[in-house]
Structure 1
Amino acid sequence: MRRLVIALLASTALVGTASAADLARKSVVSAPVVMAPNWTGFYVGGFIGYGWGSNDWSLVDNWNNWGGLSNDFDGFLGGAQIGYDYQFNNMVIGIQADITGASLEDKSWYLDEYYNNEASWIATVTGRLGFVADRALFYIKGGAAWADHDSSWSWIGDYYSSSGTRSGWTVGAGIEYAFAPNWTMFLEYDYYDFGDKNYYFPALDTTVKVDTDVSAVKIGVNYRFGGPSAVSARY
């Protein structure tokens, strides 16, 4: 009888040990393994934001020692972007093109003269360099920029306006975060410098130079194509 009891106890202990080991193995197998985002591939997206800037007016031939004036403008903007990124280790390089529809406008009065500036769109082609930290991509960017810009002036019934495409350069920085499979969102600041442009005013028989720069803050989303999803998990 004693031998039978000892045998039953030993069998129970062995079964319990095997069950615990099996449970441990199942726990290890079923634990989720979160994969790091893969930033390599093409993407498209859109954004909204707010922009502001200044237009510094001065005389090219300052025959009357006019000190000039600064005509600020601001407004909302929105647009779309397309690009490609390539990731190696924790670094990301890429190229991006975007087009922004803008409503930047303001006017100023100086004595009895009226000055107005408008920008209706901005486009850029930039290179990007970033650093990956978990699901976040911290990046800087820079490249070429173009804008549709209109400057106008009126004085005692005389009115003059000139519009055209201004070219310049841009730099910026931002953070992009992978929040869902193939989807990312970003927050970005950009600075644009379009240099100066000369405008001839027939009424005064003089040429005025307008120096323009713009800043913008954007928030937007990207959809990333190709390969595995930007954020995925294995079970």
Structure 2
Amino acid sequence: MRFFLTTTAAAGLVAAMASSAASAQDVASSNWTGFYVGGQLGYNWQPTDGDEVVNFDRNRDGNFGDAFPNFSPGFCGGAPTTARPTSGCSKDNDSTAWKLHAGYDYQFGDTSGPVVGLIAEYGKSYLYDNVTAFSTTPAVYKLQAKLKSDGAIRARAGYSFETGTLIYGTGGAAYGKIRNSFSMSNTVNSATVNDPTKNAWGWTYGGGIEQKIGKFSVGALYTFTALKNNDSTVTVGSLAGVTPATNPFIAQNAAGTDFQRSFSKFAFHSVRATVSYRF
């Protein structure tokens, strides 16, 4: 519903501007060949991941999936609201997003025909993705991945009509700067985040509609993006003078137990309004 309403509003804006421009004879040409620069403003949301869990490597041999009975209360794909997963877990956030872009299109045909192009974009998103483990103590252990910024290099291909309307599909390589962090209510163990800040790579795909209005074009764009983020781990170990020798986190390896989230991707949907100046 969120995507439908946002896209409908954006498409309505494009149609209204196109109608006004046509009546004023502002559409100088329907040919898309050339360079352009512009910006995007929109909304991001994450797919449901309530079934995400935390995997453990208790002997630190690099293989995750070791049984850890102390975490029998379970897990939740979000942030904890209490010390028990059955009592509630907050959903990961949605957010606004903006980007700047530059690209080039080539049209086969003078007033209508196929269009191919390449676009580079970069900007800010404000998403974070949590997963929480609950122990029998009781205690909570939360892993958080926060998307600081993101961009992409996308190819696009579509068809331009004589009205100056372009419908297209798009896809390519995606990039994001992700900050991984960890927090716990356990006060007798230490915690170290390995590879906390990383350059994450992945892919993106989607489609959109765009309308030429003189030297400008306005449009609506939908994309789905998935970034690889399973390299970061957390080591929960002993705290000097505090952690007892019988502590379960150091039972199989004196250096501690490694945590890793089960989902390897940081994924999100996005719908954005676009505006470009075309040279």
Identity of aligned residues (%): 26
What is residue 177 of structure 1 aligned with on the other side? Answer: 211
What is residue 50 of structure 1 aligned with on the other side? Answer: 43
Given the alignment, which residue of 133, 141, 146 partners 1:118? Answer: 146
What is residue 257 of structure 2 aligned with on the other side? Answer: 205
What is residue 64 of structure 1 aligned with on the other side? Answer: 67
Structure 2 Cα separation of the partners of residues 222 and 193 of structure 1: 26
Given the alignment, which residue of 220, 223, 228 partners 2:277? Answer: 223
Moved more, 105-114 or 77-86: 105-114
Distance 1:168 1:191, change over 3 A: same
Q: Is the Cα contact below 8 Å between 1:73 and 1:117 reproduced in 2?
A: no
Structure 2 Cα separation of the partners of residues 40 and 152 of structure 1: 45
1:116 Cα offset (Å): 2.0
1:175 Cα offset (Å): 0.4
Moved more, 154-163 or 185-194: 154-163
Letter in 2 for 1:123: G
Letter in 2 for 1:184: S
Secondary structure in structure 1 of the residue aligned to 2:232: strand
Letter in 1 for 2:151: A
What is residue 180 of structure 2 aligned with on the other side? Answer: 151
* TM-score, normalising length: structure 2: 0.62
Distance 1:53 1:99, change over 3 A: same
**Could you say which structure has the higher strand fraction?**
1
Letter in 1 for 2:215: N
Distance 1:57 1:122, change over 3 A: farther
1:74 Cα offset (Å): 2.3
Structure 1 Cα separation of the partners of residues 199 and 129 of structure 2: 19
1:105 Cα offset (Å): 2.5
Structure 2 Cα separation of the partners of residues 116 and 83 of structure 1: 34
What is residue 12 of structure 2 aligned with on the other side? Answer: none
Q: Which digits, 9 at most, give the CA deviation of each residue in 1:167-225, with x for residues without a partner? A: 001101000011x3111101001111113413332215224144221211110200000
* TM-score, normalising length: structure 1: 0.73
Moved more, 106-115 or 164-173: 106-115
What is residue 200 of structure 2 aligned with on the other side? Answer: 166
Distance 1:126 1:42, change over 3 A: same
State how 1:15-54 maps to structure 2 within 5 Å: 36-53=29-46
1:68 Cα offset (Å): 5.6
Structure 1 Cα separation of the partners of residues 271 and 199 of structure 2: 22
Q: Is the Cα contact below 8 Å between 1:74 and 1:106 reproduced in 2?
A: no
Distance 1:114 1:137, change over 3 A: same
What is residue 189 of structure 1 aligned with on the other side? Answer: 222
Letter in 1 for 2:220: L
What is residue 168 of structure 2 aligned with on the other side? Answer: 139
What is residue 100 of structure 1 aligned with on the other side? Answer: 123
Structure 1 Cα separation of the partners of residues 77 and 39 of structure 2: 32
Q: Is the Cα contact below 8 Å between 1:73 and 1:118 reproduced in 2?
A: no
Structure 2 Cα separation of the partners of residues 84 and 68 of structure 1: 47
What stretches of structure 2 of length at least 5 have no aligned partner?
1-24, 56-62, 79-91, 135-139, 237-255
1:58 Cα offset (Å): 3.8
RMSD over equivalenced CA pairs, Å: 2.5
Structure 1 Cα separation of the partners of residues 274 and 99 of structure 2: 9
1:80 maps to 2:100: yes
What stretches of structure 1 of length at least 5 have no aligned partner?
1-31, 226-235
Moved more, 208-217 or 81-90: 208-217
Letter in 2 for 1:191: F
Structure 2 Cα separation of the partners of residues 113 and 165 of structure 1: 24
Q: Is the Cα contact below 8 Å between 1:191 and 1:216 reproduced in 2?
A: yes
